Amino acid sequence: MPIAKTRLSDQVAQELQNMIADETYKVGQKLPVENELAQMFSVSRVTVREAVRKLSVMGILDVRQGGGTFVKCLTPESFMTPVLPMLALDKKNLNDIFEVRILIECKSAELAAQNITDAQLEKLKRLLDKMDACALQEDLDTYNQYDTKFHYLISASCGNKVLKTIQGLVGNMVSDAIRASLIAPNALTRSCIYHKKIYDALCAHDPVAAQEYIRTHLEGGAVYIKENA
């Protein structure tokens, strides 16, 4: 199979991205105009325009009509989001996702038990109530949405911005992994039980219990995927 050549605009976009990462162009700084960039990279203005458009879609550049192009405040999502669709959810990747979830979410639960606020606990309780209602109605799709929000809220309550960012980055993959594990017999009922145990541990500000319950919950899903996916 022939290897596809990288488009010139993609190469220019990557070079600009590297220059932004090493702070050749800093956050808030205006980029050179299109003609200058074309001369710098020895490409056409059309190629530069395509590269800038790509970085704008990625959230790295801010193109202001009539005002120029500026470097935006960078986040990990800016660099990671384009990579995530390449991780197709086959059986191997589902297993990998559960392994990553165990690493990330156990630590998030441990920290959340120490740092979670009453307001955040109340939000978790409301999500639990909605999950219970969905389980009774066997509404898998809606349950999955609340389940994903429940896990994200724990990471958002842990006090560690990096963990929260990582959880947000893999959010769609987490949602797909949850959906895959919830097709097991009585999965919704078991899921509700474990989420209640996790919630109770967070209310008690017990980091050991919170970590253990979320580990057991996730490992159960991982085992099902390995045996049936």
Give pLDDT, residue 70.
94
Q: Each residue of 139-158: pLDDT tens digit?
A: 888 898 899 899 999 999 99
Q: Could you give the CA distance from residue 76 to residue 14 in angstroms, rounded to a whole number?
A: 16
Q: Each residue of 171-205: pLDDT tens digit?
A: 656 666 666 666 655 788 889 999 999 999 999 99
Is the full-model pTM beyond 0.75? no
Question: Residue 61's beta-bridge partner residues?
Answer: 71
- Which phi and psi (to 5°) does residue 165 adopt? -65, -45
Mean pLDDT of the chain: 84
Would you place residue 1 in the very low, low, confident or very high pLDDT band (cuts 50, 70, 90)?
A: very low
